[in-house]
Structure 1
Amino acid sequence: MNRNRSIQAPTDAAQQRTMAAEQAVQKALRKARKDNKPITVTGLATAAGVSTNFIYRYPVLRAQVEALRRARRTAPSAQSSATDVEAAASTLVRRLSQQLADARRTHRDEVTELRQALEVAHGELLTLRRKPEDAARGDRRIDDMPSPAPE
């Protein structure tokens, strides 16, 4: 149990740092939308106090940055906010759809494995049920019977 605690504490701390960094990037994104300044990953990372690698490692954050960049290039500032929200929602839908597809694939594979195991178990049960019946009846296989005497 001590081992679990010694592993759990650093894991929890890492998760909290990651969540805090994600929130900082989100806050920097909101500020960048309001300020209407050019958007760069480096600029956002500096404003959020995280590394550029952090933003690149999280596809959701990177997609939001890219969506904001595209919106700035193509739309006036009044429409960019709506476009960003739609892009973020679209990214979220894509991410959740991918997670659902992965979960379904995993579930399907597990069900297939369980069905195969069940078939094997049924076969073994059938074999075990037949053995006592064969012995009780005195049934013998053809290979076990003596060959007829030559005439």
Structure 2
Amino acid sequence: MTDDARAKRARTLATAAKAKSQARTAAAEKAIRILVKRGEPITFQAVQREAAVSHAFLCNHPDLRGRIERLRAQARSVPAPTPPADEQSMLVLALTGQITRLKKQHRVDVQALRDALEQAHGENLDLRRELARRGGVTAAAQ
């Protein structure tokens, strides 16, 4: 291969590598915007997964790395919003009422099952007595 051909091949490979790097950078930036829009935490793993790029790629690009680290630090410094006290108390009251209703329904269901079991035992006893009266089964076999 001549020096001219090698130089041309090297330029072609350099151009392709630069285009690939630019495409990955654009994908990572788009991934960051998508994660921010969704309200998801910005981490290297999340950006890596969303953009389909390697962790090393993100770490080796100072602009991307700095942006991810800043956004991650921002998310850690902002406390999660808590509902106002009146909303919290309304939520507690609603859940307490729901638990009370569920407990009452549970007691009713358990009592209905106990009544049905008691009735089944009574019917079983009646059938055994009838069978014994007809001479089908002796008392010892029961």
1:54 alignment partner in structure 2: 57
How far has the Cα of 1:32 moved from its partner?
Answer: 1.1
Question: Residues of 1 paired with 2:45 and 2:72: CA distance?
Answer: 13
Q: What pairs up with 1:136-147 in 2 under 5 angstroms? A: none
How many residues were matched structurally?
77
Cα distance in 1 between the residues matched to 2:69 and 2:35: 13
Q: What RMSD, in angstroms, separates the aligned Cα atoms of the two structures?
A: 1.6
Distance in 2, matches of 1:13 and 1:63, equals 26
**Greater Rg by CA:** 2
Equivalent residue for 2:15?
A: 12
Deviations 1:126-145 (A, max 9, x none): xxxxxxxxxxxxxxxxxxxx
Identical amino acids, percent of aligned pairs: 31
Residue aligning to 2:43 = 40
- Equivalence map 1:1-151=2 (5 Å): 1-75=4-78
For structure 2, list consecutive stretches of 5 or more residues without a partner in the other structure. 81-142
Question: AA paired with 1:64?
Answer: R
Gap change, CA 1:76 and 1:33, over 3 Å in 2: farther
Q: Offset at 1:76?
A: 7.0
4+ aligned runs moved over 4 Å, structure 1: none
Q: For 1:16 and 1:76, locate their aligned partners in 2 and report how far apart those are by CA, in whole Å.
A: 40
